Structure 1
Amino acid sequence: MSFKVLLKICLHLVAWLIICMASLFHSTGVYLANQAAGQIKVLVGRQSFEDYISEVKPDKNEIERLELIQAIKQYSEDSLGFKPTKNFSKIYHHNHEPLLWVISASEKYTIEAFYWSFPIVGDVSYKGFFTKEKAIAEKNRLICLGYDVDVRPVSAWSTLGWFSDPVLSGMLTRSKGWLCNLIFHELFHATYYAPSSVNYNENLASFIGHKATLQFLSSDTAALTAYQKSYADNKVIDDYTARFISELNHLYDSIAPFSENAKLILKQQRIHRLLNGYDTLRISGMDKVKRLKEQIKSSGNAWFVDFEQYNALQDSLERDFNKIYKSNLREMVQSLK
């Protein structure tokens, strides 16, 4: 890494740490300082694709994925009008080990997110940790306060243009279609992000990521077909989950006056019955259903908060896309910049 690049990183981090210090007498400042340290490790550890290929010697499929990512970046800027960035121009090798754990929480008897407040991004309904132990400690704190809590590793994150986000080596194991979806999603965050609007930001990035993937893969029949098949399975699961959430909301409204013990029993009974419904879905692979059911069992309402962050607005975005933008993705992106 050149001195000029290192200096630029340091200046950005100094700016970020000043923000942290402004709230240092609050736990948020300590948290942000820890996050800055984790981000420094990733930024300093980035390397060129050429060096990565020379040192790690990835297989042919992973090398092709690196080439694909560059094509996606170019397409996002030239054909869709995304903001040009240096994101995904380098790679960070992490040996497939999780780098970041994200925690979210919900009220126990209503699907209502717990929010954390931060400088710049405002109120957000999830919190990331570069150390698993810190994520678990926060999980335990929230459980003691009576919340349902979910902790999960994530495969990517965006610094919203503050830094040049690298490719994470674990991304290279994804299928062609889902890698496209992920990269378009994260690149869009650097193009558009509204403070204190987590659900809208994530739903919008998910929508744009999907539509961009369909458009980008239009000339690659095999990859497009595989992606559409997998996406269709997800849509069946998502539609059932939305009905699941609606039924739970009705239950929670009806049991509000009940005792804690009665509410807990009725909640567990209803979730157990609804979980069994996933086994009746007609999809090509049930492994994802098995994983999903285990996540819901352990995370409760927090998992549904996660789901709504990425999926609750898809139908309304589809209507806007067709009616307002006449199914023109570039026009939609341009209107949001």
Structure 2
Amino acid sequence: MRKRVGKIIKWTLLGLLAVTGILVVVFWDLVSYGAQQGYGQLNIVWNAKPVEEFLADPQFPDSLKARLHLIEDVRKYAIDSLGLKDTKNYRTLFDQKGEEVMWVVLACEPFQLKPKEWTFPVVGAVPYKGFFDKAKALALKKELEKEGWDVIIRNPGGWSTLGWFTDPILSKMLNRSEGDLANLIIHEMSHATIFVKDSVDFNENLATFIGDRGTEKFLIDKYGVNGKEYRTYMDEDVDYLKFVDHMLRGAHTLDSVYGTLKPTDTLPYKKMMKENTIRKIVHTMDTLSLALTSRPSQRYKDKLPNNAYFMNFRQYQSKQDLFGDQWREEFHGDLKAYIRFLSAKYPFL
């Protein structure tokens, strides 16, 4: 009887091992990528040090210590006054030594504002792929461009691991203004509170909304409506929102132009229509009457933005009116109540 049971266990284990081996072979790219990402994230987590060590270090600049205190204030405010989840994040600091640590690759169809998506366990389909190795990000960009995709690479100021790791403060965050830093922390804490599978547009737009509204509330409560920190943040925000609206209008214009293209149109004609439209979008930026810059188009004088660039604005900004209307009309501007409602409606993953 024991021998029979032993054989059953043996063959069961061998079967499981075989199945595991087959799955690893079939999904090798996913397994390899996951291992690389896990190693990169763990490297940052392992090398991050408790914030208290920096606060106690007499060589650490007082201006940066003030930023660390601000992050803790924002973190507590987000938990107590906004109702965001306490994940114990942002209690350690990783020294980037002035270097970027993550590169995110985004790709889009060349004549349609439709992103390329990658599918991962738990989070589902996402329209980007992140790397802790710049060379790998550049290699993927080159590969996708050869396939005909519009591609961009961006360096995120921060990211959320959705509670899988303890997210540290990145040292370059400390160079941000009070409002910008508060917004980043609240944005990422929003992801760890509400995150819907296969819905990156929803997740990023919602985190943007909570980050914007939560930061306004934090700065008013901490500094007052006449405080320099609040006024600076709002002045910068006015410019940014004008720019965002312009890019969203540009995305809508591109949609219309791409909708007129026919299968029989030649590739040179399609490229010409696309380039002319994007040039017009860039040129008309200078009519926005921005307070902080008179010629925003100059940032694109060497290279025009592509579809992936416009798509990125949609992923973060296209649903702000939807959330804003619901927040005002149904919750009368009570952000904590709105977050509570959304948390109940959309269980975390």
Q: What TM-score does the superposition give when structure 1 sets the normalisation length?
A: 0.90
Instruction: State the SS of the aligned residue for 2:49.
Output: coil
Aligned position for 1:268: 275
Question: Is 1:283 equivalent to 2:285 in the alignment?
Answer: no
Q: Give, in whole Å, the separation in 2 of the partners of 1:45 and 1:20.
A: 33
Question: Is 1:250 equivalent to 2:256 in the alignment?
Answer: yes
Question: Given residue 125 of structure 2, which amino acid in structure 1 is its aligned partner?
Answer: D
Instruction: State the SS of the aligned residue for 1:307.
Output: helix
Aligned with residue 144 of structure 2, among 127, 142, 145: 142
Cα displacement string for residues 2-22 of structure 1 (whole angstroms, at most 9, x for unaligned residues): xxxxxxxxxxxxxxxxx9995
Instruction: State the SS of the aligned residue for 2:125.
Output: strand
8 Å Cα contact 1:22-1:29 kept in structure 2: no
Shifted more, 59-68 versus 174-183: the winner is 59-68
Instruction: State the SS of the aligned residue for 1:154.
Output: coil
Q: Give, in whole Å, the separation in 1 of the partners of 2:88 and 2:255.
A: 43
Structure 1 position 324, deviation (Å): 1.7
Question: Given residue 327 of structure 2, which amino acid in structure 1 is its aligned partner?
Answer: F
8 Å Cα contact 1:87-1:165 kept in structure 2: yes
Map 1:303-318; keep pairs closer than 5 Å. Answer: 303-318=309-324
Q: Give, in whole Å, the separation in 2 of the partners of 1:56 and 1:94.
A: 20
Q: Give, in whole Å, the separation in 2 of the partners of 1:22 and 1:39.
A: 24
Percent identity over the alignment? 33
Instruction: State the SS of the aligned residue for 2:153.
Output: strand
Aligned residues: 318
Structure 1 position 120, deviation (Å): 0.7
Shifted more, 278-287 versus 214-223: the winner is 278-287
8 Å Cα contact 1:296-1:303 kept in structure 2: no
Q: Give, in whole Å, the separation in 2 of the partners of 1:201 and 1:323.
A: 21
Structure 1 position 245, deviation (Å): 1.1
Instruction: State the SS of the aligned residue for 1:103.
Output: strand
Query: 5+ residue gaps in structure 2?
Result: 1-19, 344-349
Structure 1 position 111, deviation (Å): 0.7
Map 1:72-221; keep pairs closer than 5 Å. Answer: 72-219=74-221, 220=223, 221=227
Question: Given residue 308 of structure 1, which amino acid in structure 2 is its aligned partner?
Answer: R
Instruction: State the SS of the aligned residue for 1:150.
Output: strand
For the pair shown, the structure with the greater C-alpha radius of gyration is 2
Structure 1 position 296, deviation (Å): 6.9
Question: Given residue 181 of structure 2, which amino acid in structure 1 is its aligned partner?
Answer: L
8 Å Cα contact 1:295-1:303 kept in structure 2: no
8 Å Cα contact 1:24-1:30 kept in structure 2: no
Aligned position for 1:322: 328
8 Å Cα contact 1:20-1:28 kept in structure 2: no
Cα displacement string for residues 223-271 of structure 1 (whole angstroms, at most 9, x for unaligned residues): 1100000000011111111111111111111123311111011111111
8 Å Cα contact 1:20-1:30 kept in structure 2: no
8 Å Cα contact 2:282-2:297 kept in structure 1: no
Cα displacement string for residues 112-165 of structure 1 (whole angstroms, at most 9, x for unaligned residues): 111000011000001100001100111111111110001111110110011110
Question: Given residue 338 of structure 2, which amino acid in structure 1 is its aligned partner?
Answer: M
Query: 5+ residue gaps in structure 1?
Result: 1-18
Aligned position for 1:4: none
Q: What TM-score does the superposition give when structure 2 sets the normalisation length?
A: 0.87
8 Å Cα contact 1:20-1:29 kept in structure 2: no
Shifted more, 53-62 versus 198-207: the winner is 53-62
Instruction: State the SS of the aligned residue for 1:66.
Output: helix
Structure 1 position 283, deviation (Å): 0.7
